[in-house]
Structure 1
Amino acid sequence: MEQTSTAPDGAASGGMSAKTRRGALIAAIFLMATSAIGPGFITQTATFTTRLGSAFAFAILASILIDFVVQLNIWRIVTLTKMRASDIANAAIPGTGYVLAILVIVGGLFFNIGNIGGGGLGLNALLGLDPKLGGSISALLAIGIFLSHRAGVAIDRVIVVAGLMMIVLTVYVAFVSQPPVGDAFFQTFLPSTIDFATITTIVGGTVGGYITYSGAHRLLDKGTVGIENLGAVNRAALTGIAVTGVMRYVLFLAILGVVASGVAIDVTGAGANPAAQAFQAAAGDVGMRIFGAIFWAAAITSVIGAAYTSVSFVTVFKKDMTERARNIATVIFIAVSLFFYIIITTPPAQMLVFVGGLNGLILPIGLTIFIYAGWARSDLMGGYRYPRWLLILGALTCALTWYMGYKSIGPIFALLTAA
């Protein structure tokens, strides 16, 4: 049942040099991190910090802990089976791979509509462009990257550079806004309010839907697979989780400083852009430009990540897709996302919050299949003895995400009709 992946960037699973493997791991870390810290997460953080204040820190902690369990399981199983997530699902429980692929592709499409909208909001703040025009420019740039003859290299470089820029600029704004760090730390563990819809949405925006599989599929395409690479893959997963965890918390602190100062932030208006308001309140016009740069970088990397990962699931329906065919399919995916972005009237910020919730509802389905594969299908991993502690954590996380989804489905879909 084992399927070997063809590495589009020329990597093979055997005989990989240390430099090539290191490059593959860095690319996977940043693809996961930038997918997890996209415009959806930034907008969700601003929206929920405005509503919950320091208590939102608990949702950040929950998202990091769930991220830890999900990514360690997904990356490990993909690495050992040398198969894409949908193929693993079909091998473990026949037919479920097609269901998972459809859910991820549909969820990725919705997410990409929001990501393109994020690109429009970013360029609006940075350059004053109309959001529809800015979103179109962002989508066309992403299309140009995938049409490049060296698309794989271009993807990795854009994501790493943009990711580093996001981290540096956000740390600066967090320092300027002077948040109540003590209260935030206290409520990280003992929150005054626990809102399951908020936690489900933020988890979905950081590790739900396509994001769950982005780094793992990048490793697969780079050929960083097999038991010989497992140690390095685990370290990369932990590094990626650490990077995203720190970035999430720093972003939360940057916005909390503004909220705690008493500045009113609009999170429901038709033209609401709560994160932009927070950055501008913290650092004036410079803050607005910084926000634009961060938001646009988050958007363009997420457009790339969502399209790349969503299309990687198409191969379950067409096994013999070449690298070029996948790139063309990715271009079509982005173009379709752009079309819907242009015609949809839902405010971009509201859409970004909704798609996080939608992907949070998708998360437990795929995770359940993977935990079953780890528990009962060691044959798919060459007889590898899966760590019992990781499976137990995975099972508990599955139960938690199913429960949160049940409690949250109504409020999440209500976001589409909220004023």
Structure 2
Amino acid sequence: MEKNKRTAFNIAMGAAFLMAMSAVGPGFLTQTATFTSQLGADFGFAILICILVDIGVQLNIWRIIVVSGKKAQTIANELLPGLGYLLTALIVMGGLTFNIGNIGGVGLGFNVLFGISPENGALIGGAIALIIFLVRNALIVMDRTVQVLAVVKVLLIVFIVAISAPPVGQAAYHAFLPSHIDFYSIVTIVGGTVGGYISFSGGHRLLEGGLRGKNSVRYINEGALTGIGVASVIRILLFLAALAVIAEGFKLNPLNPAASVFQSAAGNFGYKFFGLILFAAGMTSTLGSTFTSVSFLDYSRSEQKNDLYQKIRPYLVIFFIVFSTAIFYFIGSPAKVLVMVGAINGLILPIALAILLIAVTKKRIMGDGYKHPIWLSITGWIIVAFMAYAGVQSLIKGFSSLF
């Protein structure tokens, strides 16, 4: 029994770190530095909102998926036939496109560390990701890799914050009482850290680890809250590091604002640190995006195993990573496509969360004897309304930028 508890806890921690590290990828590093340079201490308010939304989203989605014993796409299909295929298309297309940026982050990390071209660095990163997924006990190897890279990322950012002495009091004050609220920064940071595939990475990891049913609620909560905690610590520390540099009067390089934070704080040594952080962020996000997107192609129910999915899964992983790496290598990051997918990505979260919140009221989907906490349902619907409005605004902005 003790062994089973330990195994369940390890699975929960694997899910926690997979979600957390997916949420603080290369895009988040750049967004945080950019918005902090524009808004200063007021950006702390956006970070706070992001953390609160994260709690409401992850606790709802993880619990509904694991208690039902079904992945999100299966739940959606049972609610309305065909709805799961639409959800899968949105997640996979978004994950595939954003993975170009993730693998690019790995390449840029290698470029900073060793001076090799970002394209060749991306090839090395893609090869590492393939090895991790295709070895025996791939899920365990993925969990351990993500956890080690998470520790590296946190320690390096803590070091930068420690030597830069940020204005913590000012940051805390403006986080709760901002002098200016920038709606676009909130939409961007929330959509980039909780939207798309990231919301489902933890819940699907728990299912693939064998956790399901009402008895798993304890591990759902432990995993979700740990993941939110780790991601939140990294978000806050990175914000403080950027704020410290800006408070000293340094101007961030708009072409690479995140790199200039570390370079301004610790010179060339800090710049190399940034390269390692960028590598860790890109690699963990690549693993999270690939795992979650591919998991959306599995339509097995409850404890049944989809034999066909298990057979073709390695080939799906290979295609996902090779395609993303090849696009970055030969074309680079297709800016207009990324803008459009980013806008669409803003709509995925409210659609998916609304589907699951309706499904949780259906006994035929959740089974008898389960009652979803009212506070979670209310919180979930508030987030759906907020993110639906934000997503529409992002979509309009995305279309207008194309013409």
The alignment's TM-score, normalised by the length of structure 1, stands at 0.89
2:352 to 355, 366, 375: 366
Q: Are 2:362 and 1:377 equivalent residues in the alignment?
A: yes
C-alpha separation between the residues in 2 aligned to 1:415 and 1:144?
39
2:266 to 283, 305, 318: 283
Q: Deviations over 1:55-84 (max 9, x none)?
A: 111111111111101100101011111111
Provide closer, same or farther for how the CA distance between residues 309 and 141 of structure 1 changes in structure 2, counting only shifts above 3 A.
same
Matches within 5 A, 1:301-312: 301-312=284-295
Tell whether the 8 Å contact from 1:54 to 1:183 is kept in structure 2 after alignment: yes
Quote the offset at 1:388 in angstroms.
Answer: 1.2
C-alpha separation between the residues in 1 aligned to 2:162 and 2:298?
45
1:255 to 230, 234, 242: 242
Q: Are 2:265 and 1:265 equivalent residues in the alignment?
A: no
C-alpha separation between the residues in 2 aligned to 1:414 and 1:288?
36
Percent identical among aligned pairs is 47
C-alpha separation between the residues in 1 aligned to 2:144 and 2:26?
19
- Say which is worse superposed, 356-365 or 212-221, in terms of deviation: 356-365
- Say which is worse superposed, 59-68 or 400-409, in terms of deviation: 400-409
C-alpha separation between the residues in 1 aligned to 2:341 and 2:256?
16
Quote the residue 2:139 is aligned against: 152
C-alpha separation between the residues in 2 aligned to 1:166 and 1:312?
26
C-alpha separation between the residues in 1 aligned to 2:30 and 2:340?
11
C-alpha separation between the residues in 1 aligned to 2:311 and 2:239?
40
Tell whether the 8 Å contact from 1:205 to 1:357 is kept in structure 2 after alignment: no
Quote the residue 1:274 is aligned against: 257
Tell whether the 8 Å contact from 1:59 to 1:199 is kept in structure 2 after alignment: yes
1:91 to 72, 78, 93: 78
Provide closer, same or farther for how the CA distance between residues 354 and 261 of structure 1 changes in structure 2, counting only shifts above 3 A.
farther
Quote the residue 1:395 is aligned against: 381
2:372 to 369, 383, 386: 386
Matched AA of 2:74: D
C-alpha separation between the residues in 2 aligned to 1:33 and 1:89?
25
Provide closer, same or farther for how the CA distance between residues 188 and 413 of structure 1 changes in structure 2, counting only shifts above 3 A.
farther
C-alpha separation between the residues in 2 aligned to 1:177 and 1:416?
40
Tell whether the 8 Å contact from 1:200 to 1:361 is kept in structure 2 after alignment: no
Tell whether the 8 Å contact from 1:41 to 1:356 is kept in structure 2 after alignment: no
Name structure 2 gaps, 5 residues minimum: none
Matches within 5 A, 1:72-111: 72-111=59-98
Matches within 5 A, 1:45-84: 45-84=32-71
Quote the residue 2:394 is aligned against: 408
SS of 1:216's partner is helix
1:112 to 93, 99, 117: 99
Tell whether the 8 Å contact from 2:245 to 2:261 is kept in structure 1 after alignment: yes
Equivalent pairs counted in the alignment come to 398
- Tell me how large the CA RMSD over aligned residues is: 2.3
Quote the offset at 1:217 in angstroms.
Answer: 0.5
Quote the offset at 1:266 in angstroms.
Answer: 2.6
Quote the offset at 1:15 in angstroms.
Answer: 10
Quote the residue 1:300 is aligned against: 283
Q: Deviations over 1:163-186 (max 9, x none)?
A: 111111111111222222122111
Quote the residue 1:3 is aligned against: none
Provide closer, same or farther for how the CA distance between residues 46 and 412 of structure 1 changes in structure 2, counting only shifts above 3 A.
farther
Matched AA of 2:200: Y
Provide closer, same or farther for how the CA distance between residues 257 and 321 of structure 1 changes in structure 2, counting only shifts above 3 A.
farther
C-alpha separation between the residues in 2 aligned to 1:185 and 1:119?
32
Tell whether the 8 Å contact from 1:98 to 1:316 is kept in structure 2 after alignment: no
Q: Deviations over 1:301-323 (max 9, x none)?
A: 11111011000011249954343
- Say which is worse superposed, 192-201 or 275-284, in terms of deviation: 192-201
Matches within 5 A, 1:231-250: 231-250=218-237
Provide closer, same or farther for how the CA distance between residues 121 and 355 of structure 1 changes in structure 2, counting only shifts above 3 A.
farther
C-alpha separation between the residues in 2 aligned to 1:122 and 1:415?
29
Quote the offset at 1:248 in angstroms.
Answer: 0.6
Quote the offset at 1:262 in angstroms.
Answer: 1.7
Tell whether the 8 Å contact from 2:344 to 2:391 is kept in structure 1 after alignment: no
Quote the offset at 1:110 in angstroms.
Answer: 1.4
The alignment's TM-score, normalised by the length of structure 2, stands at 0.93
Q: Are 2:158 and 1:171 equivalent residues in the alignment?
A: yes
